[in-house]
């Protein structure tokens, strides 16, 4: 029954192409929704708002319900659209989310690439954003500049 409930939420919210699902400390699930096939095509066409997003769900197994809690990326449209790959990470030090939109983000002027964003999920305030022209990656990780002990 939970799978049927989850399927209904996924379909009604247009979750198409999930990557890098993670369990958050609050018991919710976060994943990258590539959005490919949302309009039954991977290539954006005139009048279609292709987008990718990081999305968080609350799954209540006892009551057999799934509820979307948060998302980021829909409002950015094709400048955040990655039809494949991509990642989401929870940053335990800050509670921030690190999102990697891994390929084909439209930077404008015929330029495309990958995008990395770290943001506060309470306010969606972006702490930093990196554009990597002509780049593709699978996952993004935050690493310290200097290892411990140096």
Following DSSP, what letter does each residue of 19-84 receive, concatenated? EEEEE-TTS-EEEEE--TTTTS-SS--TT-----EEEEEEEETTTTEEEEEEEESGGGGGGG--SS
Q: What is the pLDDT of residue 48?
A: 65
* pLDDT tens digits, one per residue of 44-69: 566 667 789 999 999 999 999 889 99
Q: What is the pLDDT of residue 54?
A: 96
* pLDDT tens digits, one per residue of 108-146: 999 999 999 999 999 999 999 999 999 999 899 888 888
Q: Please say whether the beta carbons of 120 and 96 come within 8 A.
A: yes
The model's pTM: 0.81
Question: Is-catalytic flag, 19?
Answer: yes
Please identify which of the residues 17, 19, 38, 89 carries the catalytic annotation: 19
């Amino acid at each position: 029954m939970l799978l049927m409930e989850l399927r209904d939420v996924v379909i009604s919210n247009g979750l198409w192409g999930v990557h890098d699902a993670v369990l958050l400390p609050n018991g919710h699930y976060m994943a990258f929704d590539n959005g490919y096939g949302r309009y039954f095509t991977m290539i954006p066409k005139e009048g279609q708002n292709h987008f990718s997003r990081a999305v968080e769900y609350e799954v209540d197994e006892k009551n057999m319900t799934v509820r979307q809690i948060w998302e980021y990326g829909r409002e950015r449209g094709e400048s955040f659209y990655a039809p494949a790959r991509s990642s989401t990470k929870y940053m335990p030090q800050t509670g921030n989310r690190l999102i990697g939109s891994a390929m084909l983000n439209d930077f404008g002027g015929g330029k495309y690439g990958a995008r990395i964003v770290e943001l506060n999920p309470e306010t969606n305030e972006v702490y930093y954003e990196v554009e990597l022209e002509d780049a593709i990656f699978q996952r993004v990780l935050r690493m310290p500049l200097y290892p411990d002990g140096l």
